[in-house]
Every structure is written in C-alpha cells, then in structure tokens.
Amino acid sequence: MRLQTKKRYILLILLSFIFLIISYGSMANEESRENRNIPLGEVNSLKMTIKFGAGKLDLISGQEDVFEGNFQYDKSILKPNIRYEILDETGILTLSQSIKKDLSLSFPYKNVWNLKLPSGVPLQLSVYTATYSGDIDLTNLQIENFYLNSGASQTNIVFNQPNLVELKNINIKTGASAIKMLGLANANFNEMKFTGGAGSYTFDFSGNLIKKSKVNIDAGAAKIILKIPSAIGTKIIIKRFPAVKLDIRGFIKINDQTYISPEYGKSDAELDIEIKGGLIDVEVISLTN
C-alpha cells in the first residue's frame, strides 16, 4: 500500500512539473502568429477534429457560421495544418499538428491555440492531444458528440448553459491529469464514459437535467469528486476494491456498492453513475440551492 501511495504522489508531482513547463513562456527570438477565419458555407452540421501537440489549448463559442482560430508558435514544425471541405451538406474541419514530434522539441517553446467554434450548427467534436493545459468551454454550442483523448492534461470542460441539441455521447480518455467538468446537467447527454489515469477528477452536475443520463467512470490512482444537486435523483454504484476510500454525503446506502439520493425514482430526469478503479478516493457532495 505504501508503495502504491508513493507511486501516486510521484505521478502527481511529475504532472505538476509538466504543467509548469507548458505554462512557461518561450525564450525564442522569433514567434509566429496566425489568424484564420473560415466561413462554413451552406451546411447542416459540422464535424470538427483537433489534433494538438503539447502546449495551451482554449476553445469557446464564436460566430454562428464562422470558425475563428488564433495560433501562436515558435517552431515551424508547430505550424497548424488546417483543412475544410463540405461533403453532403456537412462541413468537415480538421486542425492538425504532429503530436509525437512536438514532444521531442526542446523546452521552453510556445504553442498556443485559441479557437472559437461556430455556434449556429450541430457539432461533432473530437479532440486529440499530447500534454496540454487549457479550457474547453462548450457553452452556447450545439454539441451532438464530444470525444477527448489526451495525455497528461490540466483542463476545465464547461457547460454554463443548456446544450441546445441532444448530446448522444461524451467519451473522455486521459492519462495522469487534473480535469474539472462543470455544469454537466446542462450538457443534455445520454451517456458519458470517462477513463483516466492517476490524477484528480471533478464531475459537477449542476444545471438543468432533462433526461435519464448514464455515467461510467474508470480511473487509476485518483481522487474523484462528484458534486450533485440534491434535487436530482441519483444512483451511484461503486465497484469496491480494497483500496477504495469513500466519503458520501446526502445519500442513502442500499448495500456495500449502491447509494441513492432521496429523490431517486421520483422523476424521469435522473443520473445513473457507476465507478470502478484501483486506489481511488471517491467523495460525493450533495449540493443544495
């Protein structure tokens, strides 16, 4: 047990060091800046794929039918490749960068993307990253599917207002990271699958839940925090391992694995959450208005 705890602390220290490197400004003499505006044209939806190396990545909503990107980088190898085409009334936008080569560059270097995504069309968003920090603010966007696959990361994923379309799936896979997901009840999602390594993960289900939503969380040596409004009916199933530590407030214990909130079974809009993993520390906080 002590060996596992030491491993966890080492991973978290390493993660903090990586984030410090990412945030450190470039000492290079030359810095490239590039702005791109891409009108979507006559499309009914947008499929957007982002392949980002190591650095800082921020996403927010922008104009209804225009993609806007600001890119700052020190090395020519970090210049983004941008491709847009229309296929059967669907816009296909791809932003790419060599993830493997980025990690072999000597630090410090600057690699920053600030992206404004179109708010007027349904969006299927896929993000692939190496080591990064930043904010993914999906407020005021029409997210139909959201996929994130990252290495070590430090990020906030935010829904401050109800998602205007049905979000079928949220699928997140990450290495040793610190991730906060805020306003998840606003996401209007059917199912969320989260797979994480060592780190700290916060799932805040504040917002307006309008349907039954399913959540599956699988993590390594991690701190998992669930923040759930007391008005939302919720069932939590925790697959017990010897190293699981639990701190659950405002829930009724059904058995060694199952906990329900007092409102569970009283509404069609409910959360079903299943958690499993090794060496996890689970804290559930019931939020009151």
* pLDDT tens digit at each of 289 positions of the chain: 554 555 455 455 545 545 554 444 433 445 789 999 999 999 999 999 999 988 999 999 999 999 999 999 987 778 899 999 999 999 999 999 865 544 445 556 789 999 999 999 999 999 999 888 999 999 999 999 999 999 889 999 999 999 989 999 999 999 989 999 999 999 999 999 999 999 999 999 999 999 999 999 999 889 999 999 999 999 999 986 666 788 998 899 999 899 999 999 999 999 999 999 878 899 999 998 6
3-class state of residue 186 by DSSP: helix
Give the model's pLDDT for residue 243: 62
Distance CA(178)–CA(41), nearest Å, equals 37
Tokens of 215: 């959540």
Distance CA(71)–CA(37), nearest Å, equals 12
Give the model's pLDDT for residue 99: 57
Alpha-carbon Rg for the chain, nearest whole angstrom, is 20
3-class state of residue 206 by DSSP: coil
3-state helix, strand, coil in the chain (%, to 5): 10, 55, 35
Rounded to the nearest angstrom, the gap between the alpha carbon of residue 248 and the centroid of all alpha carbons in its chain is 24
Distance CA(89)–CA(116), nearest Å, equals 21
Give the model's pLDDT for residue 74: 84
Nearest partner of 118 among 190, 174, 68, judged by Cα = 68
Contacts of 13 (CB under 8 A, 6+ apart): none
pTM: 0.87
Nearest 5°: the CA angle 80, 137, 231 is 155
Tokens 């190591």 map to which residue?
54
Nearest partner of 12 among 226, 223, 182, judged by Cα = 223
Distance CA(246)–CA(249), nearest Å, equals 10
Parallel, antiparallel, or unpaired: how do β-strands 167-174 and 189-196 relate?
A: parallel
3-class state of residue 11 by DSSP: helix
Contacts of 166 (CB under 8 A, 6+ apart): 144, 188, 190
Distance CA(66)–CA(120), nearest Å, equals 9
Distance CA(158)–CA(140), nearest Å, equals 10
Q: What are the φ and ψ backbone dihedral angles of 243, each rounded to 5 degrees?
A: -95, 5
Give the model's pLDDT for residue 103: 47
Tokens of 161: 């207002």
